[in-house]
Structure 1
Amino acid sequence: MTLRRKLLLVALCTLALPVAGWLYVRQMETLLREGQAQALTASARAMARSLVVTDAPLPPAEPGWYVQQAVNPITVDGYGDDWAPLTPWSQPLDKRGKVLLAEDADWLYLYADVRSTHRTRADAGDPNALTADHLVLSLGKGEQSRRYLLASAAPGQLTARPLDPAVAGLPELITAQWQEDGSGYRVELRLPRSLALDQLGLSVYDAATGGDPQAVQSRPLVAYAPALSKELAQLALDGVQARVLAPQGWLLAQTGHLTTPIAAPGDQPGWFAALVYRSLLADQVGDAEPWTQDVPRLDASEVQKASKGTPATVWRQGEARGSVVLAAAVPIVRDDQVRGVLLLEQSSRAVPLLANRALLGLLLTSFGVLLVAGAILLVFATRLSLRLGRLRDAAERAQLNDGRLEGPFPMTGSEDEIGDLARSFERLFEVVGGYTDYLRTLASKLSHELNTPLAIVKSSLDNLEHTLQAQQAMPPDAQPYLARARDGVARLGALVRAMSEASRMERAIAAAEPEDVDLVEVVRGCCEAYRPLAGTRRLECVLPEGPLSLHCAPELIAQALDKLFDNALSFTPERGWLRLSLRAQGDGAEIELANQGQPLPAAMHGRLFDSLVSLRDKATPGDAPHLGLGLYVVRLVAERHGGVAMARNLDDGSGVAFTLHLHGMPRQRL
């Protein structure tokens, strides 16, 4: 991974700032919510106690039948079409049906739907009517009650038969409509509101399952109470909607309306701010649909919790964009019994506005800081990478084959750590360059310094031999030692001359003048000159068909080929083969001389083209020593032409191939 990417990852760590700010804003919003919830719960508790103290008309603690307000006129015909708007809030009737109760200004309506696939039919006036499928209706007023039998052998109108003696104020006869189909039967009737009933019982008898045919359990009638609404209106707070619910969630009274504070033009949250609030902040904000005002029953979990004696609060979405509603439900307790639930709802923009402003401000600030920090780190990383790249390029340029350092080392005047590193590199390369210059000129210095001592030793040996011969005092045993001394002096002289020649060769190669030549003709001429020298060895020359032009020094290339051929000839056995080939390669050329012979040792692959390295056997006394300068000259020629010299073993192991990769010499500007 590059340094720039690492610093970019470090810059991403600043993302912890907006995350921490987001958590802080969430915590602050939670505290604000808790404060508002506690305040509204305290208000609800106070109002509930006031309703109990003022002896407001609260519903009984036991479950009752809820009487809804008739939305449309109801026709008593045994069909449920008129009851469709009220059907979602039907009440269960035993385990086999449901019942709906509604009232208008004059009548109390009852609609019962019983599911039964097996029927036993009989009219209410039949003696065996109690053994057939039927309904038992109980009407109560104060302490008095009377039961009625509802049964019919066929669809149509029926007259209920009283099961109890006559009771003053309760009807003697009740007419109803009976309808049935394959799924069960339905009974619809109406009673005058003038009866002032306060209790009602209804039970289903199924002949197939049996049981008590006259059993019925009465329940109190519960309905919306305008008187309770007036009591509630006197206690309600401004801008707060209050509702009193029965323990089962039925609406008994309500007052007030949710009023969302009008926001100033600049305070109105946009769609993005509302989306941010709902997505990032408004956890546990419920849907507004279950809390609509026109439903007769609220079945929310908070109402159920309050009906069991525990206050509960919930945040839900408001009707206006960007608003929220806080609902607090507390139990209304009288005589240690929960007689109802008081629900207060208050709309607010304060929490969303504060949270949105804080969050958006924090996000903008954090991302601005993140962008600035990222840009600064990116610029710093880019500058650091460029400086390190300059340092690397300078180090690579300094790594010339002769060890010299080209030009001054960059950034040595910087005061930071990179400047210290550059100065350390500069001192290192100065030491290495000085040592390399010493080694490079060592050969010429030694050849110059050794010429005089060698001349003295040789002249002394000559004088010693002449003196002994003149005096005829040469011992016979001394002649071999004198010959060995002469041979050693001759070898030392050859070594000194070769070292001097190598120094002159380096200077000559560096001073060679390039020109545009056809390499095909240069290699062909060298190949034809080598054929007489090959003797019994077979020499093959592989050249391209067309010309191959290169800006080079042809005399240097011919000299390099001479060294390669002399080296290959000495290692090629009699009757062996040699192959000289030339081919174009990219923007240059490749010359290869392969010969049959022993493969190169693995340890010598990287040292063959160094100075004073040779694989030939040590020369015998009297022979010219092999100093290993030939391949070194080949390497200098290749480098002078912008290329490289390489040696490798042939794939089949039959010999060795030496290759010159040449790219041409730079053209001189006039």
Structure 2
Amino acid sequence: MLELRLGLRTKVILISSFLLILPWLGYKYVWEMEKLLRQGQEQTLIGTTRAVATALNERPKLFDRQASFLQSVEKGRDLYAYELHNPIQLDGKLRDWVEYDNKMMVYGRDHVQFSRRPYTANSISFKHMVGKYQGYLYAVFAVKDKQPVMRRVGTKQVDRSDHIVIAMTTSDGDFQRYVISPYEDGWVNAFQISEKDADSMQSDTQRSNTDPTSIASAPVVTESNIQGYWRTTEQGYNLELRIPLALLGSKLGFAFYDVNNERDREIDTIIGTSNTSHLNRLGTILIPSPDIDNILKGMGHTSSRIWIIDRHQRVLAQTGDIQESNGVWSTSIKYGEEADSWWTHFEKTFLHPLYYKFLISEPVDFVDSQQDAAYLKGVHISQALQGRGYSHWRLSGDSNAMILAAAYPIWLGNNVMGAVVAEESTSGIQTLRNRALEKLFNVILAIIAIGTITLFLFASNISSRIRLLRDEAEQAIDSQGRIKKTISPTNGTDEIGDLSRSLAAMVGRLGQYNHYLENLSSRLSHELRTPVAVVRSSIENLSMQNQDEDSQRYIARAHDGIHRLSTILSNMTEATRIEQSLQGAEKEYFPFNELVTGCMQGYQMAYPAQSFNVKVPDSAIMINGAPDYLAQLLDKLIANAEDFSRNQNPIEVTLERHNNEARLVVSNQGPPLPENMADQLLNSMVSVRTQDKQTKPHLGLGLFIARLISEYHLGSIRLRNRDDNKGVEAILLLPLS
């Protein structure tokens, strides 16, 4: 299992990564601040609607011409004049009405007031809307009629062809009706249907109840202020009208009278916005109030879009643009000072792109579905029309922005006549939040960078001191455990300094003890040689005298003991002598293969009971070394192999070139090496011989001497079990010259 090692600097960097919690905490804090700002924006917007509503309270004249006193309104019957952005060119081509196509209403079966025959989809129908622009009311009609019938040239009858009846109340409340019945396509004017007196109006009304196709028997008078353009199309005809707002009161209706037979010219169908024959059945017209507009303008410039609606949720006035309605928070952003410095340039060039790509969302343009709306809906409006101020959050039409809307009721006595609706986007708060996040991230980034660099440098200083102490500790003791050099204590006052001084003192004491042990063998051998010589001479003197058989046996055993003791003393000093003599040895270039061949011939005579298999190449294997010492190394390897070999199995000696080295392998069959003992056998005073192999004294110095000689020749020696696990291999590697 692979163990993951982490250095001190890596650990410090990982620990310092917890500083990344700071941006998250700051980010959450700014979001909480944004919530508070939104709550403040809600209260401010409700206060704005309350202030505007206060200026409109108890002012009935603002609503008496707006049809706002009606208990209910009917779509299609009660008309709404949209605010037009541009003047309308009266040409019957309807090009100026394209952008208002979604506001046009289709009048069909549900708006038929009279029909001689069953109404079908092929019968007359039309699309219609009205709009206001600079003192005029514009009306458009796109009529579908399979058989348009125009008025005969020269006739004064206006009700024997396709025509339109316009009914309205004046600003004084008088009921007026007009008819448009053209001879041909082109510019048209309306004819006013004038009533002789109240009796004639009454009789006309009675006739109308009997025959709804009859508009009036009274003469008609041209009304030059009501103008229009009639154009025949493939589907029927288009009609554009322009009526001065000064002529209009609070009621207005349009009705088309359709004639399909050019011979009898009877009215087949009457279809319109409302019944134009009776004042009490006439529909209303709501025109956005200029008086309320003036009041809104008098409130001064606001940072909100404000609507005034009546009790039927129809828009009476509107000011402001939601795209620019960022709330009061946009003021501090708009007029805030921005420093021009290298840091500002660095922020905009490098930091801000990163922030806005991964961390911050930038305000984007959005589409408002309620732009130029005629009716407003929402829970805040419903609450306001019930007499309670309320605020409400909604998504824009494309879901790119949040819009805050607040509504407050307009009172007339104890009745709610309408409501003030104010709307703002959250772009101002979002931009303010982004500015706060930019500054927050700048500060936190600086803190993290400085903190991380400081911790990294601190960890680097600590780790370098620890590595230096580790390197000194590794260099102080070699692989055999001998003290090679001391550790230099540091003057640091921290724990690492204390550790350095402790290790230095410990290595110093170990060095003294090691020196004592290294010289112990030579001192012992020196001290023991004199008593051994005295004992040997005494035994030899005793052996010259006539002794009985038992005495001779004891003297022989004493001779054997003295011999073994001398061998031990010789072995104890041999390693020291070789190590000292190696320091003054001279190297030469010689063929190592010839040295191995010659030595193996001598071993065959020295170990007559042991057989050998020798594989040495004929080509010269030149090395740079001391032949005598390499022969002694080979002696140790062969002696060790012979000690553990079974005599019936030969010892295999193989020499070959291996890369840039001479590779000598001495292999014998016998007991395998104990586990984890292969490297330890090359150390001094280590042996694994069993009791049956202790025929002569062994101190475990043979392989140790072999290792000393190999290291002197810049080579290496190692022991391992054979592949068949039936014995041991000693492998010597020496660099080629």
TM-score (norm 1): 0.73
Change (3 A) 1:356 1:225: same
The match for 1:232 is 296
Please tell me whether the aligned partners of residues 384 and 419 of structure 2 are also in contact (alpha carbons under 8 angstroms). Answer: yes
Q: Which amino acid aligns with 2:57?
A: V
The match for 1:111 is 141
Q: Which of residues 407, 432, 442 is equivalent to 1:330?
A: 407
The match for 2:561 is 488
C-alpha distance in 2 between matches for 1:267 and 1:563: 86
Change (3 A) 1:169 1:66: farther
Q: Which amino acid aligns with 1:597?
A: Q
Shift of 1:38: 2.1
Task: Map 1:54-73 to 2 at 5 A.
Answer: 54-55=59-60, 57-58=62-63, 59=66, 60=68, 62-63=72-73, 64-70=78-84, 71-73=86-88
Shift of 1:631: 1.2
Please tell me whether the aligned partners of residues 600 and 649 of structure 1 are also in contact (alpha carbons under 8 angstroms). Answer: yes
The match for 2:657 is 583
Larger deviation: 498-507 or 598-607?
A: 598-607
Q: Which of residues 499, 508, 526 is equivalent to 1:421?
A: 499
C-alpha distance in 1 between matches for 2:495 and 2:713: 39
Q: Which of residues 297, 300, 306 is equivalent to 1:243?
A: 306
- Tell me the secondary structure at the aligned position of residue 491 of structure 1: helix
The match for 2:712 is 640
Q: Which amino acid aligns with 2:54?
A: R
Residues 369-399 of structure 1, C-alpha deviations (whole Å, 9 max, x = no match): 2222222122122222221211221122123
The match for 2:285 is 221
Change (3 A) 1:147 1:185: farther
Task: Map 1:85-234 to 2 at 5 A.
Answer: 85-91=99-105, 99-103=128-132, 105=135, 108-111=138-141, 141=169, 163=212, 188=239, 190=241, 192-193=243-244, 196=248, 198-199=250-251, 220-234=284-298
Shift of 1:560: 1.0
Please tell me whether the aligned partners of residues 56 and 228 of structure 1 are also in contact (alpha carbons under 8 angstroms). Answer: no
C-alpha distance in 2 between matches for 1:544 and 1:237: 114
Change (3 A) 1:406 1:331: same
The match for 2:195 is none
Shift of 1:417: 1.6
Q: Which of residues 317, 326, 333 is equivalent to 1:253?
A: 317
Larger deviation: 400-409 or 94-103?
A: 94-103
Please tell me whether the aligned partners of residues 477 and 484 of structure 2 are also in contact (alpha carbons under 8 angstroms). Answer: no
Shift of 1:646: 0.2
- Tell me the secondary structure at the aligned position of residue 57 of structure 2: helix
Q: Which amino acid aligns with 1:498?
A: N
Please tell me whether the aligned partners of residues 302 and 329 of structure 1 are also in contact (alpha carbons under 8 angstroms). Answer: no
Task: Map 1:490-569 to 2 at 5 A.
Answer: 490-509=563-582, 511-515=583-587, 517-518=588-589, 521-534=591-604, 537-543=611-617, 545=619, 548-550=622-624, 552-569=625-642
C-alpha distance in 2 between matches for 1:460 and 1:626: 26
The match for 1:341 is 420
The match for 2:159 is none
C-alpha distance in 1 between matches for 2:426 and 2:554: 124
The match for 1:14 is 19
Change (3 A) 1:113 1:443: farther
Please tell me whether the aligned partners of residues 285 and 316 of structure 1 are also in contact (alpha carbons under 8 angstroms). Answer: no
Please tell me whether the aligned partners of residues 306 and 341 of structure 1 are also in contact (alpha carbons under 8 angstroms). Answer: no
Please tell me whether the aligned partners of residues 604 and 612 of structure 2 are also in contact (alpha carbons under 8 angstroms). Answer: yes
- Tell me the secondary structure at the aligned position of residue 469 of structure 2: helix
Please tell me whether the aligned partners of residues 589 and 622 of structure 2 are also in contact (alpha carbons under 8 angstroms). Answer: yes
Change (3 A) 1:72 1:232: closer
Please tell me whether the aligned partners of residues 525 and 569 of structure 2 are also in contact (alpha carbons under 8 angstroms). Answer: yes
C-alpha distance in 2 between matches for 1:11 and 1:314: 42
Please tell me whether the aligned partners of residues 147 and 236 of structure 2 are also in contact (alpha carbons under 8 angstroms). Answer: no
Larger deviation: 247-256 or 366-375?
A: 247-256
Change (3 A) 1:344 1:609: closer
Please tell me whether the aligned partners of residues 667 and 728 of structure 2 are also in contact (alpha carbons under 8 angstroms). Answer: yes
Which residues of structure 1 form unaligned runs of 5+? Answer: 126-133, 205-211, 318-323, 666-670
Residues 614-657 of structure 1, C-alpha deviations (whole Å, 9 max, x = no match): 45665799x64344322111111223344432012333456533
Which residues of structure 2 form unaligned runs of 5+? Answer: 1-5, 111-124, 152-161, 191-207, 257-268, 275-281
- Tell me the secondary structure at the aligned position of residue 296 of structure 2: helix
Please tell me whether the aligned partners of residues 149 and 163 of structure 1 are also in contact (alpha carbons under 8 angstroms). Answer: no
The match for 2:97 is 83
Residues 406-454 of structure 1, C-alpha deviations (whole Å, 9 max, x = no match): 3331444322122222233334434443443343333223323333443
C-alpha distance in 2 between matches for 1:92 and 1:281: 50
Residues 559-587 of structure 1, C-alpha deviations (whole Å, 9 max, x = no match): 2122223333452645735223143545x
Q: Which of residues 432, 443, 450 is equivalent to 1:365?
A: 443
- Tell me the secondary structure at the aligned position of residue 723 of structure 2: coil
C-alpha distance in 2 between matches for 1:73 and 1:203: 22
Please tell me whether the aligned partners of residues 104 and 129 of structure 2 are also in contact (alpha carbons under 8 angstroms). Answer: yes
Change (3 A) 1:344 1:490: closer
Shift of 1:504: 2.0
Shift of 1:243: 3.5
Change (3 A) 1:219 1:648: farther
- Tell me the secondary structure at the aligned position of residue 439 of structure 1: helix
The match for 2:49 is 44
Change (3 A) 1:577 1:214: same
Residues 477-503 of structure 1, C-alpha deviations (whole Å, 9 max, x = no match): 555444334323322232222222233
Q: Does 1:4 align with 2:9?
A: yes
Shift of 1:185: 7.8
Residues 104-142 of structure 1, C-alpha deviations (whole Å, 9 max, x = no match): 65654143678xxxx9999999xxxxxxxx999995649
The match for 1:290 is 368
C-alpha distance in 1 between matches for 2:423 and 2:631: 107
Shift of 1:306: 7.0
Change (3 A) 1:298 1:283: farther
